[in-house]
Chains A and B, each alone.
Chain A
Amino acid sequence: MPDTHTVSGAGVTLVEATPAPGVPPVPGAAETSRGRRRRSAPTGRPLVSHGRRAPAIGLGIVVLYLSLVVLIPLAAVVWRSGEGGASGFWHAVTRPEASSSLKLTIGASLLVAVVNLVMGTAIAWLLVRDRLPGGAVLDTLIDLPFALPTIVAGLALLTVYGVKSPVGLNLAYARTGVVVALLFVTLPFVVRTVQPVLLELDRDMEEAAASLGANPTVVFLRIILPNIMPAMAAGTALAFARAMSEFGSTVLISGNLPFKTQVASVHIFNQLESDNVGGAAAVATVLLLVSMLVLVALDLLQRWAGRRG
């Protein structure tokens, strides 16, 4: 491994910065020299790293980007939620209409995540393993909930499952309506995470197991499931997080009755409208924390499954 002194030496001559001996060169100089070295000596190391740490410039860009797009805005939310101190935060979150909307949102999101886990996996299976007629069309349909603005999704659901429902199913203005809306907007997640893994899955393993006498259930439980489990968990986590934050589709179909059908995102909207930004940020922070908990839990589950598999 070339030592850092030759590298920084090249940097000095190239950018004409002249740090005193012993003083660490400025980051910019180091960055230029390292980029240059890689280009001038392509035979040194493969560009694709094998567990090597990312070059500092890459890391810098990623951190900068993540900070601008995600970390700083999220920090601002958390910061504003703390405006009223710990007691103000607690008060905003335990306000009856806030806690009621949070309970509904978390409950509905959990339910929707579980339904997605089962149905999403089944749909992915169908798309990959069964060559059904019109499969390609179905495959395209899966992504449509992503393409629609969710408020349009709410409107569409209202037309089909509202008061004038042509199919005779009136689910609007009740909690069922909330769940239906969330199911609609979160459908693609599990399907789209499980599908590629199923496609890549080596059929030889299954055939080998079958030839050794394993019945289809055992093959599924012992061969397929451990392989697609991480993808299932990832998709479910995404679906859950998405459901927690959904606003557009639920605001129309839920009827927005406080304590009954008002979800947390709509409650947050109400607090903003009532000039209670701190309260809105506090409820938003709880949504963030719960989403993070679930994401971390499912990530741990993936790792655990990965170790066992």
Chain B
Amino acid sequence: MQIRRRRRVALVAAGLAAGLALTACASTDPPASANSTGASAKAVTLSLVAYSTPQAAYEKIIAAFQKTPAGKDVKFTQSYGASGDQSRAVESGLPADFVMFSLETDMTRLVKAGLVAEDWSSDQDKGIITDSVVALVTRKGNPKGIKSFADLTKPGVDVITPNPFSSGGARWNIMAVYGSQTQTGKSPAQAAAFLTKVLKNVSVQDDSARASLQTFTGGKGDVLISYENEAIFAQQKGQDIDYVVPDSTLLIENPAAVTKNSKHPKEAKAFLDFVHTPQAQRIFAENGYRPVVKGADTAGQSFPTPSGLFTIADLGGWPDVATKYFDVDKGIVTDIERKLGVSVEKK
């Protein structure tokens, strides 16, 4: 009996050890095996990893690229999802040759991980592939007369914006509200008070920009803080909405880059170059994005430049903004949400 029990213990231990060994191997395996198929085949397959909104544009851009000599034999696997999720997936081993995110911080994560070159932003467009602006989406005919961010502080205005902690992209919205004050001569304290008033009117903070758009078109809210390209997308889908671009608002800049560990650096670079061409930029314009290439055909979309347009660099740049405003403990926006939350709990 004694021996048998010892054997049982040994077996259990062996099972556990095997399990641990398996998981240990598994964690190092995928990067090695993932691209093994590309080596033998003549056609090259690039892996594109991007955030979700430009999907429709990319499908057309890829088709156009494959008609060029450089893209003739290039196939693509495409992955779309929330910008932060996609960035973290690549960081932890998802094979990618070409990446595009909604936020610069998602790119710097990959720079820190050694997957994207330090000088990714040194090309003619500073690594930016599409622009947009933070816009205010209203009901058809704008019944509440919304023109600027100041109108969002009025009592009785129901505001929708995604949660800036669930959705990296929603941080553009928050910084537009904040910057609309500091860029017009207000102090940081005044800007924070202004942001508090706006957030007080926010009744829903969905986890993504698309979910917020869904909430709004589902009938909730008077104003949705969103991006111009999302508003154009919604109008193209036949939604009953209008949108205004405030005079003082934030320029949205979406970065793209090739990865350092790409198995096909030549083809990946060719694709990145193609995305910067007027032809590809026109496809982005059709999908509501502002082209980054000066003088590119906008496919009939009008993209008026607001008089008081400012950039994230004017507010300190993303790395600083991320820690100063959105740190989970000490961020200015974290603090505002907390104060609002406490007052909600006391009710």
Q: Which positions in A face B, CB cutoff 8 Å?
A: 4, 24-25, 27, 30-31, 56-57, 59-61, 63-64, 67-68, 72, 95-97, 100, 158, 162-164, 172-173, 251-252, 255-260, 266, 269-276, 279
Contacts and interface: CB of A to CB of B under 8 A. Distances in A.
Nearest to B206: A256
B342 A96 contact: yes
Which of B23, B167, B168, B205 has the most C-beta atoms of chain A within 10 angstroms of its own C-beta?
B205
B22 interface: yes
**Which bracket fits the contact residues of B?**
35 or more
Nearest to B337: A258
Contacts of B41: none
B15 interface: yes
B303 to A, nearest CB: 30
A302 to B, nearest CB: 27
B204 A260 contact: no
B329 to A, nearest CB: 7
Interface string B217-247: 0111000000000000000000000000000
Given A266-B207, A279-B328, A162 B218 contact: yes
Interface string B5-20: 0111011101110111
Contacts of B7: 24-25, 27, 30, 56
B211 interface: yes
B319 interface: no
13 contacts: A56-B11, A57-B11, A60-B15, A67-B20, A97-B341, A251-B207, A252-B206, A258-B338, A270-B163, A270-B166, A271-B165, A273-B166, A273-B168
A172 B220 contact: yes
Contacts of A95: 328-329
Contacts of B163: 256, 258, 270
Given A251-B207, A274-B165, 18 more contacts: A4-B4, A63-B12, A67-B15, A68-B22, A68-B23, A72-B23, A100-B341, A162-B219, A172-B220, A251-B211, A255-B205, A257-B202, A258-B163, A258-B337, A258-B338, A259-B337, A270-B166, A273-B168
A273 to B, nearest CB: 5
B340 interface: yes
Contacts of A60: 11-12, 14-15
B119 interface: no
Contact of B341 (A27, A57, A260): A260
A19 to B, nearest CB: 12
B16 A27 contact: no
A163 B10 contact: no
B339 to A, nearest CB: 10
Chain A interface mostly: helix
B219 A173 contact: no
B123 interface: no
A67 B166 contact: no
Given A30-B7, A266-B166, A273-B165, A64 B16 contact: yes
A25 B205 CA distance: 63
Interface string B108-119: 010000000000
Contacts, number: 127
B4 A59 contact: no
B203 interface: yes
A67 B205 contact: no
A275 B142 CA distance: 38
Given A97-B337, A163-B219, A72 B20 contact: yes
A273 B340 contact: no
Contacts of A271: 165, 328
A252 B338 contact: no
Contacts of B211: 251-252
Contacts of B168: 273
Contacts of B218: 158, 162-164
B345 interface: yes
A110 B10 CA distance: 42
Interface string B57-100: 00000000000000000000000001010001000000000000
B310 interface: no
Contacts of B205: 255-258
Contacts of A31: 11
A173 B165 contact: no
Contacts of A275: 109
A172 B19 CA distance: 44
